[in-house]
Structure 1
Amino acid sequence: MGEALTGDRLTPAVLAPSRGFSVDVEGPIAFQEAAEGFGQSVVQFGSASAGGLIVGAPLQMGDVNETGKIYKCNPGSIRCQEILIQRPPDAKNMSLGLSLAARGSQFLACGPTVHRACGENMYINGYCFLLDQSLRQLQRIPDSLPECRKHVTDIALLIDGSGSIKTVDFRKMKTFLSEIMKRFHNTDTQFALMQYSNKFKLHFNFMEYTRSHDPDHLVQGVEQLHGTTHTATAIRKVVQELFSSSRGARDEATKVLIVITDGEKYTDPLSYSDTVPESERAGIIRYAIGVGNAFSSDTAQRELREIASEPTNEHIFRVDNFDALQGIQSQLQDKIFAIEGTQSQNSSSFQLEMSQEGFSSLLSPDGPVLGAVGAYDWSGGIYLYGSSGKPSFINVSRTSTDMNDAYLGYSSQVITANGQSSYVVGAPRYQHTGKVVLFSRDTKGGEWTPSSEQLGKQIGSYFGGTLCAVDLDRDGNTDLVLIGAPMYYSPLNGGRVYNCPIKGQGMTLICTKTLQGQTGQAFGRFGASMSEIGDISGDGQTDVAIGAPMENDNRGALYIFHGEKGGLSPQYRQRIEGSLFPSRLHYFGQAVSGGTDLTRDGLPDIAVGAQGQVLLLRSRPVLRVRVSISFQPPTIPTSAFNCQEQEQLNTEASRAEVCFTITKSTKDRLGNSIFSTIQYSLALDPGRTKIRAAFDSTGAVLSRELRLGIGKRCETYQIMLPLCPEDTVTPITLRLNYTLTGEPISTASNLKPILSEDSVPVSAGLLPFQKDCGADNRCDDQLEISFNFSGLSTLVVGITPELNTTVSIQNHGENSYSTTVRFSYPAALSYRRVLLLQVPQCTPG
């Protein structure tokens, strides 16, 4: 272990919480380090007691040619320590920590930018290191980098033997030829030699060269032909006669022609326009070496340019005399070695030399998976290191030209269905719009083949740049895949995530659902990072965090989406802004990892990467409150509201028992140390203008506050009838409203519980009036009404001063409640008063 680093617990600059639910923002644990790139990658692994938080700093410089460091951060001590990796000597500038992955008690740290020189070429590969929870290095993947590829090359030497070359200079040219061939000793290179003037002589072909392999012996017997200079015709003869399998030429070899001449062609019946196109069609790379003063003229220089391949300045050598040929040996050798980095007719310019394995990484049930974005002209793919020890390379097709520069392997995730694994792999630069491919294993041959794909829709959106496989119900089967397109642009939203359910063994071909961040963040890069974070809401479904590191002027934000039965909530439940914290965060949300309890409280924690910092956010205990309201007696007895002529009663109608039962929706290790304060109000007959009931001496409304732990608590309240109720048919309503405020938990660094989203903060109970209506509680009355107009039979307007009407009502059945008599009279009459002549009398029976 290396030097210890420190971190802090932060307090938000603004105590008003972010819009949200169960992720605590008041007391995050902050890890900070000056290492370049610290926070660019994060991963949780193991558990709080055996595991921790791994943070990558892939840009940090170490010793000579050493880039990238990884750290283990401890939430208990709020400290980080560098993890010392046993790097092989050839792991130069590897950017260790650019990608991190974890599974169970193991984690994988990758450096995908290992630079190595092969001749003139600089190749880029990668190393990954598998470690256990004790930080022991278990495996290096791969065990070693591939050797510099021995490039298969067939080189034809075409030398000018015309009479203009002196005998002594011809001998010097033979020495040059011998030295050049010796420089390619121990490489897979074959030579053939042809001399020309106006005559042509094949001294040895490729097959004869392999039998001898002695350059001095092969060149020793070469005699000068003399004559004129037929260079164009000689090139044709080399193309048609020498580069053939019958002469030992190899189909897979890079074909090279080196022409050495001391001047312009002369008396040649052919022109270069006749023969050079033939060599180009054959895929022959041509070098022209001009010797002597003849090439000081423009026409002679133009002839060299006609002979040489494009770009001509890379394929022409000019020397003043044959002695100077020795000085170009190294240059010519390096240029030929560098040919393996150019496009030939029959093969990719690069195969695995630039693969950058480990650009993305994954620990799957089958073994480590390394993304190799640079393989085969950056078409990309993934390496699967299974139990056999020999890696399987999985890609679309090595000959599929439309995958060039697709970056397949930029992201990768494992999909599990019924115990079988498939791999979903992102190619964000495919045809400039991006693609995601699902690879499944053929049950017959065991080969990995594409079984489904999903195409991006917007150019430059980087569709497939990030992926997240989600097991919603945590049954071991993947339910959906989230595909990030962080560069997606619209005037209102920057970045988009596509929600793709898994059906059976394959991914649905059309992902119709999308997730977006806050409106107005056009350059936010929503979807730049994604991770499962466990069940933080307590509903049994896995939740997801999505980063948008460039929102709010690059301060960044993190979004929380809750899992639901059958999918993911379309609207985010919480948005946490980087600007909420006082440490001046930038790019908050550039990396995220969640789902592991690192703080030993039994609740999932979320690690969020920012520039130079990592914040560990804690999920909160989620409480569910059940309210019950009961009355004793359950109905208001008739004796309580038998008013007769009384208006003031002040009799007890009943007693209300209000019970709060608090349970935990989330699983934790906090036991009974969770307390909260419930503030509630009770209201009798809310909305009625005339009070029928009241609490003892407090009116119809009261407010109370209770401190509660986990369990049940009941309170009893007396309900009075202050006045004779006019309405004894409609039950009295008791309505309760409450809010819950979690108290800081001292054993959990003052983490506060929170009320679950689905808790109902309003409850009501009904207290009916007793009805004397028999066993069935149904009142069947038999009303009889009679009218008496005081003997008056005719009303004479202007003479009769008043009209008295006596109404008699009798009930021969069960009690009748809220009975009314309605009079209708002509507009010419005016109402004066009503008198009660006889109090209602009840006859038992």
Structure 2
Amino acid sequence: MKIDVELEDLWDAVACQKESSLSWERCETFMDIVIVLDGSNSIYPWYEVQDFLINILQKFYIGPGQTQVGVIQYGSTVVHEFSLGEYQTVEEVVEAARNIDQRGGEETRTALGINVARSEAFKRGGRPGAQKVMIVITDGESHDSPQLQQAVPDSKEDNITMYAIAVLGYYNRRGINPEAFLKEIKFIASDPDDKHFFKVTDESALKDIVDALGERIFSLEGTSSQGRGFGLQMAQAGFSSHLVKDGILLGAVGAYNWNGAVLKETKHGKDGILLGAVGAYNWNGAVLKETKHGKVVPPKSSYKDEFPEELMNHGAYLGYSVGSLISSRGSQLYVAGAPRFNHTGKVIVFTLKNTGNLTILEALLGEQIGSYFGSELLSMDINGDGHTDVLLVAAPMFYSEGWEKGKVYIYTVTPQTSFILQGALEFSDRSQNSRLGSALAQIPDMNGDGFRELVVGAPLEDDHQGAVYVFYGQDKTIQHQYRQRLSAAGFNAGLQYFGQSLHGVLDVNGDGLVDLAVGALGAAVIIWEEQQGGGSTTSSPPSPCSTPCSTPSFSSSSSSSGVWYSLALDERRFPPRAVLDELDRQQRRSLVLQTGGGPSCQRLGFSIQETTDYGRPIAVVLETGQQNLDEGPVLDPDWPSVLRTELPFWNGCEQEDTCVPDLVLHGHTDLTDVQSFCSSKDRDTWSLCGHQRASEEDSVYVVETGRRRVVVSARLENQGENAYGANIHISTSSNLLFSSLIVKVKSPSYSPSLKAIPHTEIRSFRAGTLAPPVSGIHHCLQDAHRHKEMKTRTKLNQTKVINLSLDQNESQMNRRHPVKAE
């Protein structure tokens, strides 16, 4: 209540100070207005006149120290409907106007109405020094026209400004020439006629002149006898406010033709409030300051560089939002938003001395027309070192992809107190109106990392139900991805525009944590804050027992917090190669974490099943969660709730993940080579033997006519480390049929265990021999060349190839080239 009184006193002093001084003049809305209303029988329909009366009354600044309104109705006689000062607010005056009935009358005695208004109405509640304004509304020539020659000059001699409105409905309905009537009405109106005379075609057209009449009366209100435009008359000091170290900062958006201004009031060094006054200087706005020696208003020239005269008609609304920041040098700077500047918006950073010297240090410009850049400002000391880290500037009406989504710009404050655009908070995946940034608030650290957090309102989301978003601070900036969304739709309370205002300073429920107040349409919501707990979750590596552990890291009034966890082994294989000793391997288990205590662990046993797959490790998955989501600390979303790791088998090699084998493949066949074949005396004359002697090849194999099978022997030897998954591939030509495979020598098998070597490996310094016979040899080969290929492969992709090519020589014999190893 103390603050309200101080602001009211400040407004009275700024806007409507009665004492004249060099710096301050009387509020120029200090006016007495009497409306002289024709209620004769020719006025029809009456409700049109009544609607006009209500609409024009709503244009006036009615209140103590400002405008007073009285109404008289005349026809044949005059009636005082209500007097000046009888009603003190716009609402009261409008309600009184709704109850005015048409009095009627056979005559229209306009001169009588003017005389009564001049001599009586301005004395009933009239104030000395108030500007006098009379508005005459009539639909025909007066029956006491001669008396107008005296009544009108007398009124003007009393310094009454006369507005006259001619309603031509009666004349148009009857086809009467209104020339004489219009001449009479122009005589009533003050000069010049184009500023004070109005005419409408009928009663229903009165609504069309409401704005024009209001603007002309405003022009009278905002113009002094010297002809100045608006200065601080419409300042609206207090439109925005902000606490600063040495006083009160006020926004005055209506100052200087609605370009706006900023005011400051100090209380001998005590903390105060920073307020905006949007109406100063014709709604351009301004900045004002009050000290113990009086109020200090920076001159209009202080803004001319950033708010040039040619843009005055845009109504920048400087002071729509105000704030302050602390530079790295410890000096206090002020910021103020002008969201309508040049239609795109502007934010200025400035200093303000008690002498009235305002110096603009930097200006930040908006990028989109109509986005209202600068309508909300927030400076944040994220890491708590006493210096401002970022300045947040909201553009809640930023338009994107056909929706009014909103945007919050993040400016980093450098050590040189310059502002670098770091990015923006915005949603590109939302197809709805949002107005993100309609409200901004800083709240204390929630997740225990020591950095303050940001709350942003989006009151148009979910079909105007609204939502708020929580963004975490990190180092000296804000994380761009929101961490929590609170939607009014989830409260089932019928809220609208939830998030249009925010406040996060007070601990309402006394739990030691700051709570968040969120404003909505006609309602406010208090949201309790819960401390967020972080912790490390681990699982011990390979042994017959796994030990899940969790180490809490939080500060809370609660001494403990319960969590659940589940452990799964080889979850994607069936059957799994490892199982927990308990039957239900997916069963959730509980673990209690003590505040400030060490790790909390539980040992779980498991067994390895008989398997031939020792090459791939066993997958281990540990999932955790909070038991009670409504009480105590909450889990930190930065910490993973699912831990995935692997349990490998021992490979028996020097390196844990690599084995280097040295495979040697030997191969031979039971066929007779040509040299041995031709050594017989009865064969040396054969053409085959003659061909062999002429050949440069060392050895050729011979297949005789009666032979039905060929045996190829292979011997695979590993002279290096273990070779896992080694295998031999045997391929034959299409005219040979594979008969069988005989394993003559093999490595001894081992029982599988955690350190076992499976029988599928080829151990070092072991050899194996394979003798696969091949049957079904045809006498006549279809192709000139045939080959038999043997390969061995390991996981290291080492391959040795032996080709035994067969050549057709005669119809009853085949010649075979020597074995070649690749």
Task: Give the TM-score of the pair, scaled to structure 2.
Answer: 0.55
1 CA distance for matches of 2:621 and 2:334?
Answer: 53
Contact kept, 8 Å, 1:497 with 1:516, in 2: the verdict is no
> 2:671·2:702 contact (CA, 8 Å) conserved in 1?
no
Check whether the contact 1:287–1:309 (CA below 8 A) recurs between aligned residues. no
Specify the alignment match of 2:791 in structure 1. Answer: none
Counterpart mapping for 1:753-792 below 5 A = 753-759=634-640, 761-771=642-652, 773=653, 783-790=663-670
- The 1:308/1:397 distance shift into structure 2, 3 A limit, reads same
Question: Secondary structure of the equivalent of 1:375?
Answer: coil
1:298-350 Cα deviation digits (max 9, x unpaired): 999899799934556589xxxxxxxxxxxxxxxxxxxxx99973436966434
Question: Which structure is richer in relative contact order (CA contacts within 8 A, separation 6 or more)?
Answer: 1
Q: CA separation of 1:86/1:556 partners in 2, compared to 1, >3 Å: closer, same or farther?
A: closer
Check the 8 A contact 1:622/1:756 in 2, yes or no. Answer: no
Q: Distance in 2 between matches of 1:693 and 1:300?
A: 107
Take 2:428 and 2:323, find their aligned partners in 1: how far apart are those partners?
Answer: 23
Structure 2 unaligned residues grouped into runs of 5+: 13-25, 34-59, 66-126, 132-151, 163-178, 199-216, 270-290, 674-700, 749-762, 767-822
Describe the SS at the equivalent of 2:727. coil
- Is 2:258 the counterpart of 1:378? yes
Q: CA–CA distance in 2 between the matches of 1:456 and 1:403?
A: 18
Q: Alignment partner for residue 292 of structure 2, among 365, 375, 389?
A: 389
Asked if the contact 2:32/2:130 (under 8 Å) is kept, the reply is no
Residues 348 and 437 of structure 1: CA distance in aligned 2, closer, same or farther (over 3 Å): farther
- Do the aligned residues in 2 keep the contact of 1:116 with 1:123 (CA within 8 Å)? no
CA positional deviation for 1:478:
1.9
> Could you say what secondary structure the match of 1:553 adopts?
helix
Please tell me whether residue 840 in structure 1 is matched to residue 744 in structure 2. no
The 5 A counterparts of 1:635-646 are none
2:445 corresponds to 1:535: yes
Q: Which amino acid aligns with 1:738?
A: E
Other-structure match for 1:830: 737
Counterpart residue number, 1:361 = 241
What amino acid maps onto 1:757 in structure 2? Answer: D
- Residues 578 and 396 of structure 1: CA distance in aligned 2, closer, same or farther (over 3 Å): farther
| Secondary structure, counterpart of 1:380 in structure 2 | strand
Shift of 1:411: 0.8
Q: 1:461 to 1:432 in 2, by over 3 A?
A: same
Q: Which amino acid aligns with 1:515?
A: E
Give the Cα–Cα distance (whole angstroms) in 1 for the partners of residues 575 and 735 of structure 2: 34
Shift of residue 368 of structure 1? 1.9
Distance 2:656 2:182 in 1: 123
1:235-274 aligned at under 5 Å gives the runs none
Structure-2 residue corresponding to 1:802 = 709
CA distance in 2, matches of 1:466, 1:389: 30
Q: Which amino acid counterpart does residue 389 of structure 1 have in structure 2?
A: K
Which amino acid in 2 is paired with 1:448? L
Is 2:514–2:529's contact at 8 Å kept on the other side of the alignment?
A: yes
| Deviation of 1:186 (Å) | 11
SS class of match (1:439): strand
Q: Percent identity?
A: 26
1:669 aligns with 2:572: no
C-alpha spacing 1:380/1:823, structure 2 compared with 1 (3 Å): same
Aligned counterparts, 1:382-421, within 5 A: 382-386=262-266, 387=269, 389-390=292-293, 391-394=295-298, 397=301, 401=309, 402-403=311-312, 405-418=315-328, 419-421=330-332
Tell me how far apart the structure 2 counterparts of residues 791 and 353 of structure 1 sit (CA, whole Å): 119
Residue 660 of structure 1 pairs with residue 549 of structure 2:
yes
Change (3 A) 1:658 1:734: farther
Letter in 2 for 1:361: S
Rate the CA distance shift 1:779–1:440 in 2: closer, same or farther, 3 A. Answer: same
1:363 deviates by 0.7
Is the 1:588–1:610 Cα contact (8 Å) retained in structure 2? Answer: yes
Question: What CA deviation, in whole Å up to 9, does each residue of 1:645-694 have, x standing for no partner?
Answer: xxxxxxxxx414232314235xx43242322222x23123x555775444
**1:608 to partner: Cα distance:** 0.4
Task: Quote the residue 2:357 is aligned against.
Answer: 447
Match of 1:501 in 2: 412
Equivalent position of 1:586 in the other structure = 496
Cα distance between partner residues in 2 of 1:776 and 1:733:
15
Deviations 1:601-640 (A, max 9, x none): 3444211011232211133333334333334xx5xxxxxx
Q: SS of 2:744's equivalent? A: coil
User: How far does the alpha carbon of each residue in 1:237-283 deviate from its partner, in whole angstroms, 9 at most, with x for none?
Assistant: xxxxxxxxxxxxxxxxxxxxx99999xxxxxxxxxxxxxxxxxxxxx
| Secondary structure at 2:407 match in 1 | strand
Structure 2 residue 585 is the aligned partner of structure 1 residue 681: no
Q: Does 1:705 align with 2:589?
A: yes
The one-letter amino acid paired with 2:301 is S
How has the CA–CA distance of structure 1 residues 722 and 673 changed in structure 2, closer, same or farther, with 3 Å as cutoff? closer
The AA in structure 1 aligned to 2:563 is S
Structure 1 vs Structure 2 CA RMSD: 5.0
Distance 1:535 1:379 in 2: 38
Residue of structure 2 equivalent to 1:615: 525
Q: Offset of 1:732 from its aligned partner?
A: 2.5
Change (3 A) 1:414 1:844: same
The amino acid that maps onto 2:743 is L
- Please give the alpha-carbon distance, in whole angstroms, between the structure 1 residues aligned to 2:396 and 2:464: 14
1:428: how far off? 2.4
In structure 2, the residue corresponding to 1:582 is in which secondary structure? Answer: coil
CA contact (8 A) 1:517 1:526 kept: no
Equivalent residue runs for 1:220-619 within 5 Å: 308-309=191-192, 313=196, 341-343=221-223, 348-386=228-266, 387=269, 389-390=292-293, 391-394=295-298, 397=301, 401=309, 402-403=311-312, 405-418=315-328, 419-440=330-351, 447-490=357-400, 491-506=402-417, 508=419, 513=424, 515-516=426-427, 519-522=430-433, 524-565=434-475, 567-594=477-504, 596-619=506-529
Q: Displacement of 1:413 after TM fit?
A: 1.1
Match for residue 698 of structure 2? none
Q: Number of matched residues? A: 537
How far off is 1:469 after superposition?
A: 1.7
Q: Distance in 1 between matches of 2:458 and 2:7?
A: 38
Structure 2 residue aligned with 1:329: none
In structure 2, do the counterparts of structure 1 residues 612 and 702 end up closer, same or farther at CA, with 3 Å as the change threshold? closer
- The amino acid that maps onto 2:479 is S
Change (3 A) 1:507 1:797: farther
CA separation in 2, counterparts of 1:618 and 1:496? 27
Q: Is the 8 A contact 2:624 2:641 kept in 1?
A: no
Matched residue, 2:617: 732
Unpaired stretches in structure 1, ≥5 consecutive residues? 1-82, 95-113, 128-184, 190-257, 263-284, 289-295, 316-336, 635-653
Q: Give, as a single letter, the amino acid of the residue that structure 2 aligns with 1:741.
A: Q
Cα distance between partner residues in 1 of 2:345 and 2:764: 90
CA distance in 2, matches of 1:584, 1:804: 88
Shift in CA distance, 450/822, structure 1 to aligned 2, threshold 3 Å: same
Q: CA deviation at 1:832?
A: 3.6
Return the alpha-carbon distance in structure 1 between the equivalents of residues 720 and 632 of structure 2: 65
SS of the residue corresponding to residue 397 of structure 1 reads: helix
**CA–CA distance in 2 between the matches of 1:261 and 1:617?**
62
1:471/1:477 contact within 8 Å kept: yes
CA distance in 2, matches of 1:774, 1:90: 85
* 1:361 CA displacement: 1.0
| Secondary structure, aligned partner of 2:544 | strand
| Aligned mates of 1:115, 1:582 — CA distance in 2 | 48
- In the TM superposition, residue 740 of structure 1 has moved relative to its aligned partner by 0.7
Amino acid at match of 2:589: E
User: TM-score, structure 1 length as denominator?
Assistant: 0.54
Q: Classify 1:805/1:345 alpha carbon distance in 2 versus 1 (closer, same or farther; 3 Å).
A: farther
* Bigger-Rg structure (1/2): 2
Separation in structure 2 between the aligned mates of residue 430 and residue 622 of structure 1, nearest angstrom: 42
